[in-house]
Structure 1
Amino acid sequence: MWIKQAASRAATLCIVGGIFGASGYAYAEYPEKPVTLVVPFVAGGPSDKIARDVAESLRKSLGTTVVVENTAGAGGTIGTARVARANPDGYTLLIHHIGLATAPALYKKLGYKTSDLEFLGLINEAPSTLIGKPDLPPNGLPELRKFITENGGKLNLANAGVGSASHLCGLLLQGALKSNMTFVPYKGTAPAMSDIMGGQVDLMCEQATNSTPQIEARKVKAYGVTGAQRSMVPALASIPTLSEGGLSGFNFTVWHGLYAPHATPVAVLEKINKALRVALKDTALVKREEALGITVVADDRLSPAGHKKFFNDEVTRWSKVIKDAGIQPE
């Protein structure tokens, strides 16, 4: 009898020790292998560039290799679903932009729910720029507004696809101008930018990270910056905000956040958030971001709770914008 009781007690201790030991082990030893950072967009785009910068800083703060993998398609939903279904061990993370907050209003079937993800902290935010083809007649935002009014419906507005940052900015712009333009969706930022530089499309509302080189090289015309304040980037410093140009209160920024699969151990989430905070203080990273007109987040949105609250507010905001624009979920 005493042998059976001893065996039972030993088994119980093993189970309890296994539970607490595993948690402690995860906290103490994570990460033991490379971490994969999934970007749900094509390589070479703004989000990919930001992800690679963040990955390098996370590599130093986590003490392990951070591999960036591009899983593009369906407005970022394919890559997001991949992370949502991944093993919740902290080795597969997601970096996503504003599109994560608009997806519920744009797609009937996402392949994931927001609750399938853990919020790890907001990373950055950056304005976009309203740019035009090189030979577009207007030379400033007031002239452009008049030109759009006089040619209502005839001008076209390029974007990188439904749900992209350029598409969302275009929706806000059309509402602010109270004038319809023809939306021209592309399969990514690169072909859209190529066509606006070549004069095949009239306008585009593109992230400053991607448009600044073309503005500086005078390959496109710049009509305004979409943020609440002018950009600190030398090439954009003289360009007024759209609000200054007459679109009072216009404010659009593209933000990126970091996510993990739901049910990732709390200890691991805490370790990743701590590493993210350290990474975003990396002087080299901050300088690279600022050179592109990007502001690194340093407020409460860097905390998981602050990030989640901000995200939910964005979902509410964009659901209304998309509904008011008459866009039906696909």
Structure 2
Amino acid sequence: MRKLAIAAAMAATLVSTQAFAEYPEKTINYIIPFNAGGESDVSARFQQPYLEELAGQSFVIQYMAGAGGAQAWSQLNGMEGDGYTIMGINLPHTILQPMEKDVGYETKDLTYINFFHYTPNALFVPKDSEFQSLGELVEYAKANPGLVTLSGSGSNSANHLGQVQFDELAGITTTYVPFSGTGPAVTAILGSQTTGGFNYVTSGVNNGDGMRMLAVASEQRVKAFPDVPTFKELGYNIVGGAFRGVAVPSSTPEPIREKISQLITDVNNNPEFQKKMEDAGFVLTDISYDFINDFVAAKSEEYREIAEKLGIANR
């Protein structure tokens, strides 16, 4: 009986190994936890043809917007972990959200696979706004506490953190208006529904005719916008933005996790893909599966210090 059990286990292992070797064998669903039109969607659309070419299978992009991404992330581990469902993942969202309140998931619950790009925050106003510079906006906000409204992609997102830092360092009070993703947050600026918004520098590439970028939260000026000063240049030590990548259900086997991560890395190494991303304002990164847990742990410490200082960490 023992020999039969051992033989059965070896056979199962062989079948399992063969299955992993042949992965993927069918369409992969790529879920974006925000609305269409935002950075997560744009970068996934850029990836799509390269992923399909490498994998030999279709990647179908779907949307599950709500609660600044939390609606999707809270459901991820309930999805089948067979490698045919992957989901967009964002930092600092998935670290800051659970710090403040119960959002249906904890940072440690999520299985991060690869972070492949970064986008700095930027402060925008409508093109026809009365504010021509950051200084003018700050002056108005000081004289009119709470009247300046700034849109952003969800509560406790990189955009929200940027707004809170800006208020503290500038000594002003603005009102943050969270939306379900970058797309609707930018629409609010374009339609002058808000005074302006903390969004990502990439938003200026596709919406430059309708918005004016007053400052960017990067160490150096962004090549695509050489005339836009950094917050640091203007006297505010604000450097931040969002890291984006992919995650999978926690039941996904290790070999498949590694294969998905390698697919993402291989796409990032494609020169044609690199040019598309950089022309759109993205900064490519390569934080693969082998290093991702250490990266998330380090970022958790970094964001916790900021969150506690700014009163976000209540849990």
Q: Please, what TM-score do these two structures have when normalized by structure 1?
A: 0.85
The one-letter code matched in structure 2 to 1:100 is T
Q: Are 1:182 and 2:175 matched, yes or no?
A: yes
1:60–1:279 Cα contact (<8 Å) kept: no
Separation in 1, partners of 2:6, 2:292: 39
1:45: which partner in 2?
38
Separation in 2, partners of 1:291, 1:77: 30
> Could you say what secondary structure the match of 1:297 adopts?
strand
> Could you say what secondary structure the match of 2:160 adopts?
helix
Question: Per-residue deviation at 1:187?
Answer: 4.3
Closer, same or farther: CA 126–275 of 1 in aligned 2, 3 Å: same
Closer, same or farther: CA 205–109 of 1 in aligned 2, 3 Å: closer
Q: Are 1:223 and 2:208 matched, yes or no?
A: no
The equivalent position to 1:256 in structure 2, one of 244, 248, 263, is 244
Question: Per-residue deviation at 1:329?
Answer: 6.4
2:151–2:178 Cα contact (<8 Å) kept: yes
Closer, same or farther: CA 200–40 of 1 in aligned 2, 3 Å: closer
Structure 2 gap ranges (5+): none
The one-letter code matched in structure 1 to 2:69 is G
1:314: which partner in 2?
299
Question: Per-residue deviation at 1:135?
Answer: 4.2
Determine which structure has more spread, i.e. the larger CA radius of gyration. 1
Question: Per-residue deviation at 1:278?
Answer: 0.8
Identity across matched positions, percent: 26
Q: Are 1:103 and 2:97 matched, yes or no?
A: yes
The equivalent position to 2:65 in structure 1, one of 54, 69, 72, is 72
Q: Are 1:90 and 2:83 matched, yes or no?
A: yes
The one-letter code matched in structure 2 to 1:247 is Y
Separation in 2, partners of 1:185, 1:171: 13
Deviations 1:153-210 (A, max 9, x none): 3322222332344323212222222221122334443443333233332121111222
Structure 1 gap ranges (5+): 1-7
Separation in 2, partners of 1:195, 1:261: 33
Closer, same or farther: CA 152–303 of 1 in aligned 2, 3 Å: same
Separation in 1, partners of 2:103, 2:16: 35
Question: Per-residue deviation at 1:49?
Answer: 1.4
2:32–2:62 Cα contact (<8 Å) kept: yes
Correspondence list, 1:144-159, <5 A: 144-159=137-152
> Could you say what secondary structure the match of 2:61 adopts?
strand
* Aligned-residue RMSD, C-alpha: 2.4
Separation in 1, partners of 2:182, 2:112: 27
1:196: which partner in 2?
189
Q: Are 1:273 and 2:261 matched, yes or no?
A: yes
Question: Per-residue deviation at 1:105?
Answer: 1.5
Question: Per-residue deviation at 1:21?
Answer: 1.0
1:240: which partner in 2?
229
Closer, same or farther: CA 35–199 of 1 in aligned 2, 3 Å: closer
Separation in 1, partners of 2:304, 2:181: 23
